[in-house]
Amino acid sequence: MTDATAPLLELRDVSKSYGGVHALRNVDFAGRAGSIHAVLGENGAGKSTLMKIVSGVIRPDTGEMRLDGRPVAFASPREAVAAGVVCVFQELSLVPDLSVADNICITDPPRRFGLIDRRAQRRVAAALLDRVGCPGLDPRTRVKDLPLAQRQLVEIAKALGRNPRVLVVDEGASALSGAELARVFAVLREVRDGGALVIYISHRMNEIRELADRCSVFRNGRHVETFDAHTRGHDDIIRMMIGREMTGVFPAKPAAPRDYPPAIRVDHLSWDDRLRDIGFTIGKGEIVGLGGLDGQGQRELLLALFGVLRGVEGTVAIDGRPRRIDGPAAAKAPDIAMALIPEDRKTEGLVLAMSVADNIALSSLGGHGGGILIDRARLESDVESMVRSLQIKVGDVNRAVATLSGGNQQKVVLAKWLMTKPRILLLNDPTRGIDVGTKQEIYALLRRLADEGVAILLFSTDLAELIGCCDRVLVLYRGGIARELAGDDITEMNILGSAFDVALTGSPGPARAAGAEVRP
Amino acid sequence: MRNPLTALDKPALFAAGSILLILAVGSLYTLSTGGGLTMLSPAYLSQQLQIAAFLGLIAGGLMMVILLGHIDLSIPWTLTAAAMMATSVGGPAAVPVALAVGLAVGVVNGLGVAWLRVPSMIFTLGVNTVLQGLMVLHTGGHAPQSRSTGLMEFLATGHVLGLPMAALVWAAVSGLLVVLLTRTAMGRAVYAIGNRESAAYLSGIPTNRVIVGCFAICGACAALAGCLLAGYSTKAYQGMGNAYLLPGIAAVVIGGTHVLGGRGTYTGTVLGTILIVVLQSVLSVMQMPDAGRQIIYGLVIIAMLFAYGRDTGRAG
Residue A264 phi, psi dihedral angles, 5° rounding: -140, 135
Average pLDDT score, chain A: 84
- CB–CB contact B192 A329 (8 Å): no
Say yes or no for a CB contact (<8 Å) between A353 and B263.
Answer: yes
Please state, in angstroms and rounded to a whole number, the distance separating the CA atoms of residues A289 and A427. 9
Whether the per-residue pLDDT at A360 is higher than 90: the answer is yes
User: Min CA distance, B201 vs chain A (Å)?
Assistant: 7
Task: Please name the member of A342, A374, A398 whose beta carbon is closest to the beta carbon of B202.
Answer: A342
Classify A351 as helix, strand or coil. Answer: coil
HSE-up (13 A, CA, CB side) for residue A378: 13
Report the distance separating Cα A24 and Cα A16, nearest Å: 5
Q: Where does residue B248 rank: exposed (0-12), middle (13-18), buried (19+ CB within 10 A)?
A: buried
Q: How far apart, in whole angstroms, are the C-alpha atoms of residue A415 and residue A421?
A: 10
Interface test with B, best of A325, A354, A360 (most B CBs within 10 A): A354
Is A266 within 8 Å of A280 (Cβ atoms)? Answer: yes
Q: Does B263 touch chain A (CB under 8 A)?
A: yes
Q: Which residues of B touch A340 (CB under 8 A)?
A: 202
Tell if the CB–CB gap between A362 and B200 is shorter than 8 Å. Answer: yes
Contact criterion met (CB below 8 Å) for A458 and A439: no
Q: In the prediction, which pLDDT does A503 show?
A: 46
d(CA A180, CA A201): 17
Q: Chain B closest CA to A264's CA: distance in Å?
A: 19
Please state the rounded mean pLDDT for residues A403-427. 91
Are A365 and B202 inside 8 Å of each other by CB? no
Residues of B in contact with A328 (CB under 8 A): 201-205
pLDDT for position A113: 83
Residue B192: Cβ-neighbour burial (10 angstroms; 0-12, 13-18, 19+): buried
In this predicted structure, the answer to whether residue B115 has a pLDDT above a threshold of 80 is: yes
Per-residue pLDDT at A354: 92
**Chain A / chain B CB contacts < 8 angstroms:** 82
Strand (E) or helix (H) holding A237:
helix A234-242
pLDDT tens digit sequence for B151-183? 999 999 999 988 899 999 999 999 999 999 998
Instruction: For residue B316, list chain A residues with Cβ-Cβ distance below 8 A.
Output: 352-353
Per-domain boundaries in chain B: 10-21+44-307
**Does pLDDT of B148 surpass 80?**
yes
Mean pLDDT for the stretch of residues B112-137? 94
Q: Which residues fall within 8 angstroms of residue B59, CB to CB, at 6 or more apart?
A: B248, B251, B252, B255, B269, B272, B273
Distance of CA B48 to the CA centre of its chain: 15
Query: What ipTM score was computed for the predicted complex, to two decimals?
Result: 0.84
Verify whether the Cβ–Cβ distance A352 to B195 is below 8 Å: yes
- Averaged pLDDT for residues A85-96: 80
- Weakest mean pLDDT among A277-291, A328-342, A413-427, B299-313: B299-313
Nearest residue of chain A to residue B178 (CA atoms): A373
Q: Which residue has the higher pLDDT, A502 or A106?
A: A106
Mean of all residue pLDDT scores within chain B: 89
The residues pairing with A265 across neighbouring beta strands, listed in sequence order, are A281, A317
Alpha helices, H only, chain B:
10-32, 42-67, 75-89, 94-114, 120-140, 150-157, 165-183, 185-195, 197-202, 207-232, 245-254, 266-285, 290-312
Residues 6+ apart with CB under 8 A from B301: B250, B254
Is residue A498 within 8 A of residue A510, CB to CB? The reply is yes
Q: How near does any CA of chain A get to the CA of B1, in Å? A: 6
Bridge partners (DSSP) of residue A223 are A218
CB contact under 8 A, B196 and A350: yes
- B209 neighbors B131 (Cβ within 8 angstroms): no
The DSSP code for A137 is -
List chain B residues with CB under 8 Å of A366.
185
Residue type, A104: I
Q: How far apart are CA A53 and CA A446, in angstroms?
A: 38
Q: Kindly indicate the confidence band of residue B309, based on its pLDDT and cuts at 50, 70 and 90.
A: low
Contact across the interface for B203 and A416, Cβ inside 8 Å: yes
Helical spans, DSSP H, in A332-421:
356-361, 376-389, 406-418
Q: Residue length, chain B?
A: 316
B185 reaches A (C-beta below 8 A): yes
Q: B249 — phi, psi (to 5°)?
A: -60, -45
Least confident of A17-21, A268-272, A395-399, B163-167: A17-21
Residues of B in contact with A380 (CB under 8 A): 1
pLDDT > 90 fraction of chain A, expressed in percent and rounded: 36
Arch. (CATH architecture) of B10-21+44-307: Orthogonal Bundle (1.10)
Q: Contact A351/B195, CB-based, under 8 Å?
A: yes
Q: Taking the mean position of all CA atoms in its chain, how far away is CA A468?
A: 20
pLDDT of residue A368: 55
At A262, which amino acid appears? P
CA atoms within 13 A on the CB side of A41: 24
Alpha carbon of B263: minimum distance to chain A alpha carbons (Å): 9
Interface of A with B (CB under 8 A): 306, 308, 327-329, 331-332, 340, 342, 347-355, 357-358, 361-363, 365-366, 372-374, 376, 379-380, 398, 416, 420
Query: Is residue A214 within 8 Å of A37, Cβ to Cβ?
Result: yes
Domains of chain A: 9-242 (3.40.50.300), 248-337+422-520 (3.40.50.300), 347-421 (no CATH)
Residue A455 is predicted with a pLDDT of: 96
pLDDT, residue B186, reads: 93
Amino acid of residue A485: L
> Which residues neighbour A413 within 8 Å (Cβ) at sequence distance 6 or greater?
A341, A342, A345, A349, A350, A359
Say yes or no: B188 contacts chain A, CB-CB below 8 A: yes
Nearest CB neighbour to A354, from listed B185, B195, B204: B195
Chain A, nearest residue to B185 by Cα:
A365
Dump pLDDT digits (tens) for A15-33: 988 766 678 889 999 999 9
pLDDT per residue as tens digits for the range B29-52: 888 887 777 778 888 889 899 999
* Mean pLDDT, rounded, for B14-19: 88
